[in-house]
Structure 1
Amino acid sequence: MRVLVAPDAFGGTLSAPEAARAIAEGWHRHAPDDVLTVAAMSDGGPGFVDVLHAALGGELAVVTVRGPVGTEVPVTVLHADGTAYVESAQACGLHLLDPLDPLHASTYGVGQVVAEAVAAGAGRVVVGLGGSATNDGGAGLLAALGATADVPLDAGPDALAGVTRVDVTAARERLAGVDLVIASDVDLALLGMFGATKTFGPQKGLTEEQILRVDGILDGFVGAVCGPTPAERRVADAKGAGAAGGLGFALMLLGGSVVSGIDLVAEAVGLTRQAVDHDLVVTGEGTYDFSSRAGKVVFGVASVAREAARPCIVLAGQVQVGSREMRAMGVESAYAVAERVGVEASMSKPYAHLADLSARVARTWSPRSQA
């Protein structure tokens, strides 16, 4: 039996390559003769650069930039065939802050990385969005690239209150002639009931009261950047504008075009071809829930498997969807580490418990293991 192992990172515990190795290791315990192909995945969030480096080769360059609240952090940029790949989470990710500070966290470091990539000669820059601790509408990124305003742009959404003027001319000039691509894991607009702040603000530490306030501040920011009319503000309503707390919006202002992060990675690793060559596709993530339907790795991998007429199963830390919803996503079955060992134990030894789960699942799915 040929098995394709293509998981996402298990947020905060295992990188995508680590999760893939754990699944493969456990599977081989009970099906040692099965042929396993490991293809770690990403949707633009954490692990984006590592996954693409494994698929595309190229050269890695490390730059030091300002983190979300000022402390310098290292960021790795992948240069391959004239394209620079940037992972925004490395500069402003949730893992960089403890405690979280959503009112002051800035995307300034992401702008610094983009500037470094352009200065290094990249004619195309792909920015992976996902896993950010920021909700500043991309104001920090714009500042790092030369934008100016009548309030600080580099100190988080709280500092944007009362903004009336933003000039992005210098930032646009800095990226003139550069093909800017936004690899996004969500298709949210920036503002409103279904926008970035309302949807992802809680996981970044915003209270309900702060969510309303920050969304109002960003509404004023959009007006200052774009203008007051609905036609002028249309970019804020575009799909992907709300990605990474509004980084999508800022990159669109500079001419960026949005693509699905999982589709970009799937093409780079040749996922469709690999699915056809295998009998079963195994994917996974930390929490398999309803958000997995929109631009996430599990949904993307399951879609590829379905097109290839191959069954797809999910191994996850937790599973929070029912069988009917799984089928709608193209998933045959899903298995959770937490169901067997509990949430706390699954987080304490994630690699070992994921490998154990994979070994048990192999008994069901591999004919050789049943013999």
Structure 2
Amino acid sequence: MRILICPDKFAGSIDAVAAAQAIAGGWRASTATDELIERPLADGGPGFIDVLAPAVNGRRVTVDTVDPLGRPAKGEILIKDRIGYVESAHACGLHLLADAERDPKRTTSYGLGLLLLAALEHGAARVMIGLGGSAVNDAGAGMLAALDAAPLDAAGYALPYGGAALTAAQGLTGTPRIRGAELIAATDVDNPLTGLHGASAVYGPQKGASREDVFLLDSALERFASLLQALPTAPPGLAALPGAGAAGGLGAAILALGGHCESGIELVTRLTGLTAALDEADLVITGEGSFDHQSLRGKVVAGVAGGARDRGLPCVVLAGRVTTGRREAAAAGVTETYSLVDFYDGDVEAAMTRPAAGLSALAQRLAGQYSR
């Protein structure tokens, strides 16, 4: 029997690679005769580089960058045949900040600009930028500053870091330097930049924004969007385009630079050979930290379950927490769901701190149920 194991990360708990290893280890503890295929996945957020590195057999390069508060940090880029892969979470990730430090009014995407520059300096003519899990809400203003196109106020002075300062934006210092490279944003959301469904309103609160902050940030991004729209490579109606609101508006900046957005899970699926692996599987196991209403809208689980459904394969979801209804899950192609919180008798802390043991035990049970 061929078992395809392709989880996403369990945010704040265990990465996708370790999760896949734990599931495979549990299955092998029950039966050693089945063929296990591990394909850890990402949708553009944290883990994007780790998942793609073995798949594309690229060169990983450590890069000096800064975190969302401008503090020195280390990031990585991946280079293969003049294609660069960049993970925004290495510089802009919410996981880089303590809870008390979360404040999208002042966090910056400058570090992502440094990673992008590094990819260009290593000869990348195309750069795929994973967007997700960000702590920023500055519509890529910091990233543009690193590319020599910093936002300016009415007096011609560079604005400070953060989304709130963009309410005073009046211009840019110049045209961003991307050396003619093609930019592709790999994202799991299709939100516009502003408005009720925009970056500030939908994702600002989880980054530390209060209700008042959301209104301020939305107004600031609306102001900055007019500057982005003036770039010669910006498409018409930039702020309303799907994906413009991804990662606190980083999608809008990439679109303004002439780039385009792709589904992160579809891109990763293509590059990791998941399609071929699905064709040969008898059972699919996927998972993530929280299997909820967002999971079936462009996330890893949705892509995997849809592929399994189209092939008539059973698809089991192992998650930290499960709140999606059975009917909705079944319609998406999910056969069964199992929760680490339930496995640990409602102990959320145990589910967060001992995910590998729980996943291994759940996989062992599944092997007893499914293995021939």
User: What's the CA shift for 1:232?
Assistant: 7.7
**Counterpart AA for 1:297:** V
Query: Is 1:164 aligned to residue 175 of structure 2?
Result: no
User: What's the CA shift for 1:222?
Assistant: 1.3
User: What's the CA shift for 1:248?
Assistant: 0.5
Distance 1:224 1:39 in 2: 41
What pairs with 1:67-82 in structure 2 (closer than 5 Å)? 67-82=67-82
Deviating runs (4+, > 3 A) in structure 1? 151-154
Moved more, 41-50 or 348-357: 348-357
Distance 1:258 1:333 in 2: 32
SS of aligned partner of 1:309: coil
Distance 1:149 1:29 in 2: 57
Q: CA RMSD in A?
A: 1.6
Other-structure match for 2:365: 360
Alpha-carbon displacement from aligned partner over 1:45-96 (angstroms, at most 9, x marks no partner): 1111111111111111111112110111111110011101000000110111
Distance 1:159 1:81 in 2: 39
**Counterpart AA for 1:349:** R
Distance 1:2 1:232 in 2: 46
Query: Is 1:316 aligned to residue 319 of structure 2?
Result: yes
Match of 1:148 among 147, 150, 173: 150
Distance 1:316 1:89 in 2: 22
Does the 8 Å contact 1:165/1:225 carry over to 2?
no
What is the identity percentage for the equivalent residue pairs of Structure 1 and Structure 2?
Answer: 45
Other-structure match for 1:261: 264
Match of 1:327 among 330, 336, 358: 330
TM-score, length basis structure 2? 0.93
Does the 8 Å contact 1:108/1:154 carry over to 2?
no
What pairs with 1:86-165 in structure 2 (closer than 5 Å)? 86-98=86-98, 99=100, 100-151=102-153, 152-153=158-159, 155-165=161-171
Distance 2:123 2:227 in 1: 32
Does the 8 Å contact 1:235/1:241 carry over to 2?
yes
What pairs with 1:221-300 in structure 2 (closer than 5 Å)? 221-226=224-229, 234-300=237-303
Structure 2 residue runs of 5 or longer lacking an equivalent are none
Distance 2:109 2:150 in 1: 15
TM-score, length basis structure 1? 0.94
Alpha-carbon displacement from aligned partner over 1:343-369 (angstroms, at most 9, x marks no partner): 1210121111121122223232223xx
SS of aligned partner of 1:70: coil
Other-structure match for 1:11: 11
User: What's the CA shift for 1:116?
Assistant: 1.3
Query: Is 1:348 aligned to residue 356 of structure 2?
Result: no
Q: Provide closer, same or farther for how the CA distance between residues 306 and 154 of structure 1 changes in structure 2, counting only shifts above 3 A.
A: farther
Q: Provide closer, same or farther for how the CA distance between residues 224 and 280 of structure 1 changes in structure 2, counting only shifts above 3 A.
A: same
Does the 8 Å contact 2:188/2:264 carry over to 1?
yes
Does the 8 Å contact 1:106/1:154 carry over to 2?
no
Distance 2:151 2:321 in 1: 44
SS of aligned partner of 1:13: coil
Distance 1:352 1:198 in 2: 37
**Counterpart AA for 1:71:** R
Does the 8 Å contact 1:84/1:126 carry over to 2?
yes
Distance 2:213 2:170 in 1: 21
